[in-house]
Amino acid sequence: MVLAVVVGLLAFPGAPTEFRLVPFLVVVVAFFVTDMVSLHVEFRRQTWAWSVSEFALTIALIEVGGVWAAAARVLGLGASMAWQRYSWAKVVYNLAVSVVEVAAAVTVLRVLPFGALADPVSWLCLLVAVLVANLVGTPLVFAAIRLSGGNPSRRLWKELLLPIGVVAPFAVSVGLVAILLSTLTGWAAVLIAPAAAAVIVLFRRFAQVSRAGQGLERIYDFARRIEAVSGREDGSLEIAMAVKELLNADKVALWLPPYLDEAPRLVVAADGGAGWYDGPGDPDDLVRRRALEPGSDGPVLVLAGRASAAETAALARRGAQEVLGAPVATAAGEPGYLEVCDRRSDVVSFSEGDRAALDSMLTHVNAAIRAQQLLTQIRYDADHDRLTGLPNRQRLAVEIDTLLAADPVGARAGLVLASLDNLTEIVDTLGHAAADELLLVTAGLLREHAPPDALVARMEGEQFAVLLPGLSLDAAERAARRLREATSTRARVAGLDLEVTLTIGVAAAPVHGTDSGMLMQRADVALLAAADGPGVASYHQVLDQQSLRRLQLGTELEQAMADGQISVVFQPIIDARTSDIVSVETLVRWAHPRFGAIPPDDFIHLAEQIGRIGDLTDHVLDLALARCRRWLDQDIALSVAVNLSARCLSEPDLVERVQRALRLHGVPGELLILELTEGSVVDDSVRSSTVLAELHALGLRLSMDDFGTGYSSLSQLRQLPIDEVKIDKSFVLGMSTSQGESFIARSIIELAHNLGLRVVAEGVEDELTRKLLTEMGCDKLQGFLVSRPLPDERLESWLLARTGVRSAAPGAQHRRLFVRA
């Protein structure tokens, strides 16, 4: 205001020009009418209103001039802002700015050669004066925005460029035409009035189109922003923030129903960081209930000026004047709820246009929420058992390590490892379905009778685990005995009453170990002892004598490879679409002369522990490539896949050894596939090294084995030279009977293909599963439906009996095998 007074005194020196009432009133009315039709440009709590007031300003400068032009501007603008109910602070500030603008225009006309109106030079002077007025007023408004805590962006300048650069010159031209016509005849008003009305109508239409264009651009930016939040932990809050910014709202709430092991969530994006407010989390709230009603016609809009008593109460509990509410789709089936409260602008309110905009945004919001929940599902399945829903071994290990790391000195915990007796006999007698039913019953019993703060987990096969935080060894032993007694019962399974009996091994931290690996290993040793005795046993060092067998196997490992005790079997993998045999997976076996068949997991883990995993890998790789070479000699191209231990990736000469083996057998790199575990691929030391890239540079392919059982996500694979993923058989075995498992398999296939990866499905055992996977676009299939793992001589017989030979594909050198129908 002080600036306006100073500028006015400088710009309007001396006595004012002669006052003419009629032109003065005409100009006041012109200012009022033009300011009533505005283009609103919002910036947080501030709103820039742009009108065609240049039309009225042009007439004022010519007809009344000087101080009377400023007075007319003040009266017209003041009446317009009062009519639109602006705050008094804004009215005073904008009136002061208008005085400065008129003063700037008058000063420019005084400096420039402004003369007779018929002279085109005078027209140019008027145009320059009006543009200078705009350029003087704009920074003053921006300064007000900055002083109020805002920081005008480039977008705001961009949105004002068209009104300043195009609309203002047009308005000046129309004003000049109106004045020139009026000097010819008084009847010119008949032409001027419709022309002026047309200018206002056109500007109003321009304002509508401009707002629509701004809205589309912001929705496009909103969609791009939403696409980037699906994999983030704070994705729900980011969605709410994006809606808040797009609609320039005071606060936005997003309520999501319970999903998997997550409780219902309410996230709030609000100025000041408020994390909660009353209303959106209440299922009986009027606005939320109305928005979630089946068959509702889009988002609900409640305005204080048109609210019923019940709606007024709903607004009051939120402390809001206007609310937009809408349902959102979730993977859980139950709809979520999105609520937008109060436009931050003190001029613009929510309207039907904002209701339509929110409706169009819901498509992107729904997609983002479903994508986020899909990743949650994948992460959940990665550390939970598919059958029982309990945490799996990997999750248990994380929980144990987290618990012990929280207090390395004083942390205590008991670990109970429980094995369900006679499960193998039940599988052999009643089948897998009955065994699964019994496992579910056992899981329920353990959940019911374990202490409240215990963590119940499913290990492999018939084994469960119970983590008992804070218990000493003696307390853990007592808890284990109570648990065994409580779960010893009879259960109705497959029409029979079956005995549920658990054998339990107990270990405790810190006396038996200070990390998950040691604690689980010693609980397992105790479980082996309990199976031979009382049913419940605790770990003791004496029990390690029973591990002498493992030590003996370790000393015999190298000789066993030399003597041919350690051999390989091959399991064919076929193209899902053509049934071509594209590769065989090489699986290692040990036929011990005294102990019989040694489970691969036992001696592979043993080889890792004693540092012989590299020798074992080289042995398997040599056998696999030798088999591949024999196929090449028969003019048949068939890839071989070899599993690579995580420990091998840290060996410095791995790449050199693989290259040497390929060269020794004369096998091209593209016929070798190395299968890696999830844990090895996402390990920080591996990701930061070049070993995967160097292996890939040999021409061979890298495959991630058993995908979905670890902690990786497909998004991590973008950073690694992985060619394919193998869906773990736990996701595949139940596809024909479980819609949820089919959903996970389909999601992995689609996400992998989006990343340019091929997908292999393990565990395909029936035609229905094969058909489902083929329809989903899975690239390769592996499982008992195709063939069991076969030793070399039986594989040769199987190939002769079950396969045919295709001629080489165009551009290929070798023939291909296919499985005959």
pLDDT category, 216, cuts 50, 70, 90?
Answer: low
C-alpha atoms less than 13 angstroms from C-alpha of 538 in its C-beta half-sphere: 16
Tokens 């012990």 belong to: 404
Alpha-carbon span 120 to 358, nearest angstrom: 50
Output the CA torsion sign for 742, 744, 749, 750: positive
Threshold 0.95, pTM exceeds = no
> Residue 750: in which H helix or E strand, if any?
helix 739-754
What pLDDT, on a 0 to 100 scale, did the predictor assign at position 645? Answer: 85
> Residue 677: in which H helix or E strand, if any?
strand 672-677
Name the more confident of 724 and 41. 724
Which pair of structure tokens corresponds to residue 756?
């340019």
Name the more confident of 231 and 80. 80
Pairing of strands 265-270, 249-256: antiparallel
pLDDT for 703 beyond 60: yes
Name the more confident of 707 and 94. 707
List Cα–Cα distances, 176 to 20, 164, 700, 744, in angstroms: 19, 18, 78, 70
Alpha-carbon span 339 to 326, nearest angstrom: 6
Tell me which DSSP letter residue 542 carries. G
Which range has the worst mean pLDDT, 45-54, 516-525, 538-547, 783-792? Answer: 45-54
Pairing of strands 489-493, 596-598: unpaired
Q: What pLDDT digit, counting tens, does each position of 755-769 carry?
A: 889 999 999 998 999
Percent of the chain past pLDDT 90, that is, above it, reads: 22
Mean pLDDT within 686-712: 79
What pLDDT, on a 0 to 100 scale, did the predictor assign at position 628? Answer: 94
**Terminus-to-terminus CA distance in the chain, angstroms?**
91
**Ramachandran angles phi, psi of 708, nearest 5°:** 105, -10
What pLDDT, on a 0 to 100 scale, did the predictor assign at position 427? Answer: 74
Edge to edge, what strands does the sheet with 300-303 contain? 265-270, 249-256, 336-343, 322-328, 300-303
Picking from 698, 558, 566, 583, the residue whose alpha carbon sits closest to that of residue 620 is 566
Residues 6+ apart with CB under 8 A from 336: 254, 255, 256, 257, 327, 328, 329, 330, 369
Amino acid at 756: G
Alpha-carbon span 328 to 298, nearest angstrom: 11
pLDDT for 440 beyond 50: yes
Mean pLDDT within 504-515: 90
Picking from 251, 280, 246, 250, the residue whose alpha carbon sits closest to that of residue 265 is 280
**Highest-scoring range by mean pLDDT, 263-267, 538-542, 716-720:** 263-267
pLDDT for 212 beyond 60: no
Which range has the worst mean pLDDT, 18-27, 208-217, 235-244? Answer: 208-217
Which pair of structure tokens corresponds to residue 18?
């002669």
Picking from 76, 101, 69, 102, the residue whose alpha carbon sits closest to that of residue 91 is 76
Mean pLDDT within 467-494: 89
What pLDDT, on a 0 to 100 scale, did the predictor assign at position 547? Answer: 61
**Ramachandran angles phi, psi of 14, nearest 5°:** 75, -170
Q: What pLDDT digit, counting tens, does each position of 167-185 carry?
A: 667 676 766 666 766 666 6
**Highest-scoring range by mean pLDDT, 309-323, 351-365, 622-636:** 622-636
Tell me which DSSP letter residue 670 carries. G
Tell me which DSSP letter residue 166 carries. I
β-strand partners of 643: 675
List Cα–Cα distances, 742 to 335, 436, 597, in angstroms: 22, 19, 35
Alpha-carbon span 716 to 379, nearest angstrom: 13
Tell me which DSSP letter residue 754 carries. H
pLDDT for 8 beyond 80: no
Residue 257 CB coordination number (10 Å): 16
C-alpha atoms less than 13 angstroms from C-alpha of 775 in its C-beta half-sphere: 9
pLDDT category, 623, cuts 50, 70, 90?
Answer: very high
Name the more confident of 134 and 732. 732
286-312 burial string, b = 16+ CB within 10 Å, else e?
A: bbbbebbeeeeeebbbbeeeebeeebe
What pLDDT, on a 0 to 100 scale, did the predictor assign at position 646? Answer: 77
Percent of the chain past pLDDT 70, that is, above it, reads: 76
Alpha-carbon span 189 to 391, nearest angstrom: 84
pLDDT category, 141, cuts 50, 70, 90?
Answer: low
What pLDDT, on a 0 to 100 scale, did the predictor assign at position 584? Answer: 94
**Ramachandran angles phi, psi of 161, nearest 5°:** -65, -45
What pLDDT, on a 0 to 100 scale, did the predictor assign at position 15? Answer: 46
pLDDT for 279 beyond 80: yes
Is 53:170 a contact under the CB 8 Å cutoff?
no
Three-state DSSP class for residue 589: strand
Is 70:81 a contact under the CB 8 Å cutoff?
no
Name the more confident of 119 and 219. 119
Q: What pLDDT digit, counting tens, does each position of 9-36 carry?
A: 555 555 456 667 777 887 777 777 776 6
Alpha-carbon span 570 to 639, nearest angstrom: 11
Q: What pLDDT digit, counting tens, does each position of 639-685 carry?
A: 999 999 877 887 888 999 999 999 999 999 999 999 987 666 665 55
What pLDDT, on a 0 to 100 scale, did the predictor assign at position 43? Answer: 46
Name the more confident of 379 and 572. 572
Alpha-carbon span 9 to 26, nearest angstrom: 25
To the nearest whole number, what is the mean pLDDT of the chain?
79
List Cα–Cα distances, 549 to 552, 592, 597, 608, in angstroms: 5, 12, 14, 16
Three-state DSSP class for residue 495: coil
Tell me which DSSP letter residue 669 carries. G
What pLDDT, on a 0 to 100 scale, did the predictor assign at position 464? Answer: 95
**How far is it between the farthest Cα atoms of the chain?**
123
Q: What pLDDT digit, counting tens, does each position of 247-258 carry?
A: 778 888 888 888
Give me the DSSP letters along 678-740: HHHHH-HHHHHSSHHHHHHHTT-EEEEEEETSSS--HHHHTTTT--EEEE-HHHHTTTTT-HH
Which range has the worst mean pLDDT, 148-157, 285-294, 481-490, 788-797? Answer: 148-157
Is 73:31 a contact under the CB 8 Å cutoff?
yes
Is 357:364 a contact under the CB 8 Å cutoff?
no
Mean pLDDT within 567-576: 94
pLDDT category, 513, cuts 50, 70, 90?
Answer: confident
pLDDT for 189 beyond 60: no
